[in-house]
Structures are given as structure tokens and as C-alpha cells.
Amino acid sequence: MWYWLFKYVLLGPLLWLMGRPKIEGAEHIPADGPAILASNHKAVLDSFFLPLVVPRRITFLAKSEYFTGPGLKGRFQRWFFSAVGQVPIDRTGADAAQDALNAGVRVLSQGKLLGIYPEGTRSPDGRLYKGKTGIARLALQTGVKVIPVAMIGTDEMNPIGSKMWKPAKVTVRIGEPIDFSRFEGMGGNRFVERTVTDEVMYALMRLSGQQYVDIYAASLKNRPAEQDAAATAADADRLPDTQAG
């Protein structure tokens, strides 16, 4: 109930007013049955605008920190994410990857839409970063198609570090579903998992027009600024033009 109240009454109207969202490729979302929505991740608002424009309910795997914060803010976050049906995932334990996989399989086995950010975290600078292979393991284990989704403009409305939203045009671009049935029975093969993941990231690059960087976004966030500057220069020298044609 809370999911639909937030979408149509409590939050949705404000998002429609400030973001004027447009969806392209809506016909690629199946009317029923399971599917994996693999999205780039430029802002917190990605998780708001994608459900806003897709008629079916979307379940995201949310980091457990959203459910364990202290104080009034922590209680509100826990209530909010629980109310809209998000699934908490502990990303710190030794079994974190398997726990996330199990949670994803459970959602898909119920015929639902599962939202995933293959980069694993928000882009620190607007570029598209290397995808983690969890999405490949999930697709190969379940046989469910992966639908690439490009979120455009959410970072302008909700820049990193900003506490207030500002009006901006938001576009949600849905790509054609990707069928990985040709790799049936090959789950667990690291080469195949990387191939599947890279195919998803290539589709996201084409849809979003973002520059692709072949390193994990989390590693960039954790390294010193001087190393980041040197790596950025090196990336610019060796990366091809990745703007969408």
C-alpha cells in the first residue's frame, strides 16, 4: 500500500513537477513475469524516478545501512525503505555476495521486477564504471532476461553532496531485453560472468551516452585524490569515444 501511496500521492506529484520525467522504450518492460532492470546509477533519485515511470512495482536490493541507522533519521529510513518494499542486503559479511544472490533469486521467483545497479554504487563523477558480476550470476542462475535502463538528468536534479533538489529534465531510457540463454549451464565460469556483465555495461553505455571507465567506482572513491587525478588522465588517453550514436 505504501509503495503506491508514495508513487501517486505522497512523493510522485512532486517528482513529476520538478523532473518532468519522460520514459523512452516503455514497451520493453514486460506486462508480467520476472525481469532484471539493470540501471546506471548517477543519483539517489534514480531509485525514485524509475519506479515512478514504470507501471509495475520494482523491488531494489538496498544496502542494510538504510535499515540500521540510529536516532530519528535512522527510524524514518528504516520505515521508508521497508514501506516501499525494498530488500536489505548486508554487504560487509563473508557471505554478502551469496546473500544478495539469494535475495535476488527469491524476488525473481515471485515473478517480480528486480532493480539492480551493476556498478554497485553511485558514479562519483557522472561516468559509467565497471560492472560487478553479481548481475551475471543472477541472470545465469535464473534464466531471466536483463533489461538495460539509462537514467539521464537525475544527477542534475540531485547533484552528489547536495541536500536540496532542483528542477531538471529527467529521462528514463529503456533498452531492449538481453537474453543470455546462450550461456545456459555455464554459471560459475568467471570468464562467462565477466562477458555477460560487460555486455550489460556496453548496452548501458550506448543508452546513456556516458564515458565508460574500466575500473570499479568504489575503488575510485577509496583512493587518494592524487592517484585519482593521475588515473583520470590515463583513462582519457586510452579510452575510445563512448558517446551514444
Q: Return the closest-CA partner of residue 59 out of 29, 82, 30, 41.
A: 82
The β-bridge partners of 58 are 113
Q: What is the CATH number of the domain that holds 72?
A: 3.40.1130.10
Q: What is the rounded distance in angstroms from the CA atom of residue 154 to the CA atom of residue 170?
A: 6
Is residue 244 in some structural domain?
no
Q: Which residues lie across from 116 on neighbouring strands?
A: 38
**Residue 53 domain flag:** yes
The pLDDT, as a whole number, for residue 233 is 42
User: Is 106 inside a domain boundary?
Assistant: yes
Chain length of the chain: 245
Residues 26, 152: Cα–Cα separation, whole Å: 15
Question: In the chain, which residues have pLDDT < 50?
Answer: 225-226, 228-245
Closest CA to 121 of 63, 76, 165: 63
d(CA 165, CA 156): 9
Q: Are 244 and 206 in contact (CB under 8 A)?
A: yes
Residue 204 lies in a domain: yes
Paired residues of 146 in beta bridges: 36, 178
Quick one: pLDDT at residue 129? Answer: 97
What pLDDT is recorded for position 59?
92
> What's the confidence (pLDDT) of residue 82?
72
Q: Which residues on neighbouring strands pair with residue 123, listed in sequence order?
A: none
| Half-sphere exposure (Cβ direction) of 136: Cα atoms closer than 13 Å | 23
CA dihedral 150, 21, 167, 129 (to 10 degrees): -10
Compute the distance between CA of residue 149 and CA of residue 151 in angstroms, rounded to an integer.
6
Pair 174, 25: CB distance under 8 Å: yes
What stretches of the chain adopt beta strand conformation (E)? 22-24, 35-39, 58-63, 87-89, 113-116, 128-129, 146-152, 171-174, 212-213
| Sheet with 113-116, side-by-side order of all strands | 22-24, 171-174, 146-152, 35-39, 113-116, 58-63, 87-89
Q: How are beta strands 171-174 and 113-116 bridged, if at all?
A: unpaired
Domain count along the chain:
1
245 occurs within a structural domain = no
Query: Is residue 170 one of the residues assigned to a domain?
Result: yes
- Of the candidates 95, 76, 94, the one whose C-alpha atom is nearest the C-alpha of residue 84 is 76
**243 domain-assigned:** no
Does residue 24 fall inside a structural domain? yes
Domain that includes residue 196, residue range: 2-238
